[in-house]
Amino acid sequence: MRNEEKAQVPPDPHKPDKLQEMIHPCGCCRSCRKIESNNHPDIIFVKPSGAFIRIDQIRTLFHTLSMKPYEAELRVVVISDAQTMHPSAANALLKMLEEPPDRTILILTAQHTSDLLPTIASRCQHIRFNPISRINLTAMMVEKQGLDPDDAAIFANMANGSFAKALSMTRPKTRESWINRRNWLLTELGSLSSRPVGLHLAFAEQLSKNREVLSDSLEVIKSFLRDLVIFKYYPEKIINKDLTDMIQYDSEKMPVASLLSKIKDVQTAQKNIQANANLRLTLEILVMRLASGYT
C-alpha cells in the first residue's frame, strides 16, 4: 500500500495527547512541581538587573542555550520586561532571534510593542494580554492573601495589573515597606511647593537611587494624582481610601486642569525612562513640574 493510501490509525485513548498535556498540565508530576517551584532547569527567566537587562545576561543566556535541554523535550526562556534591555543587549538578542537555537521557545514580555526595537518586534509572534483589572486583582488579593478589601485595593493599584507584582508586594516581609514607601512618596509630593529648589533636586536624586522600585514609585504618584481628580466627582471610587482626608484636602486646593497636566508629566517621564533617557535629568524635570502649582 502506498504511503498516501495508508489507513489512519485512531489515537490510543490510553496514551495522553502531548498537546493536551502542554495545555492542561496535571500539576502533580515531577516536572509540574519543579515548574511551580521555579526549579525546572529548562525554564529560564531573564529579568532586569537594576533598571536594565544587560548584555552580560544575554551572553550568559547564549552559553546556556548552546547546550541541549537537561530534562524536557523543549526549553523555554522568558525574558521579562524586555523593554528594559540595554541597546547592546537588545542587539545581541537580535542575533539569537535571527538564528534561534534548536528546541527552544523564547518568550519576551513588554508593556508595549513600541518599546522594543522594531527589528526584534518584527521577528516575534505578538500575543496581547491586558492587565488584570483593579477590581479583579483586588478580589484575588482578598481571596488568596486574606487582605482587607481596602488594603487589597491599595496593593492592586500599586501592582498596575500584575498579579505577580501584587503577590510580591503583599508578602509579610515587604508589605509594610511598600506602605511606608507610598506614604513617604506622597508626603514628599505634598510638601514640594513649600520647599526650595535644592530639596526638589534632592527628592529627584533619592528617586533615581532606587531604580528597582522606580517604576512602581511613579505609579504610586500617578494613582494619587488620579485620586485627587476622581474625588471631585466620585469620592467613593478613590483607590487610596486610607488617605481620604489627605486626598480631600489636596483635591479641594487644585484645579482639574492642573492635576491632569501633572498626570501627563508622570506619563511622559515614564516613557522617557523606558527610552533610556538621562534618568537623573528626567526625574529632576518631573519633580520641578510636579512642584509648580502644587499649592
Name the average pLDDT for the chain: 84
Q: What percent of the chain has pLDDT over 90?
A: 29
pLDDT per residue over 239-263, tens digit each? 888 889 999 999 998 999 999 999 9
pLDDT at 259: 94
* Predicted TM-score of the model (pTM): 0.59
For residue 11, tell me if it sits in a domain.
no
For residue 247, tell me if it sits in a domain.
yes
pLDDT per residue over 60-93, tens digit each? 999 998 888 888 888 999 998 888 888 899 999 9
Bridge partners (DSSP) listed for residue 53 = 85
Whole-number Å distance between alpha carbons of 60 and 37:
22
pLDDT at 38: 80
Whole-number Å distance between alpha carbons of 59 and 148:
44
- Up-side HSE of residue 19: CA atoms within 13 Å toward CB? 1
Closest Cα partner for 124 from 105, 141, 142, 138?
105
Looking at residue 258, which CATH number applies to its domain? Answer: 1.20.272
For residue 271, tell me if it sits in a domain.
yes
**Where residue 55 falls among pLDDT bands split at 50, 70, 90?**
very high
Question: Under 8 Å CB-to-CB from 253, ≥6 apart: which residues?
Answer: 295
Task: Find the helix packing angle between 214-231 and 244-253, rounded to 10°.
Answer: 70
For residue 4, tell me if it sits in a domain.
no
* Position 50 pLDDT exceeds 80: no
pLDDT at 263: 94
Say yes or no: 277 and 179 in one domain: yes
For residue 230, tell me if it sits in a domain.
yes
For residue 127, tell me if it sits in a domain.
no
Whole-number Å distance between alpha carbons of 134 and 130:
12
Question: Under 8 Å CB-to-CB from 160, ≥6 apart: which residues?
Answer: 131, 216, 219
**Where residue 107 falls among pLDDT bands split at 50, 70, 90?**
very high
pLDDT at 34: 84
Say yes or no: 23 and 93 in one domain: yes
pLDDT per residue over 21-49, tens digit each? 556 778 788 888 888 888 888 899 998 88
Select from 146, 169, 192 the last residue of a domain.
Answer: 169
pLDDT at 20: 54
Say yes or no: 149 and 206 in one domain: no
What is the separation of C-alpha 221 from the centre of its chain, rounded to a whole number of angstroms?
16
pLDDT per residue over 181-222, tens digit each? 888 999 899 888 888 888 999 999 999 988 878 888 898 899
Which residue range is the domain that position 228 belongs to? Answer: 171-291
| 3-state DSSP assignment of residue 126 | coil
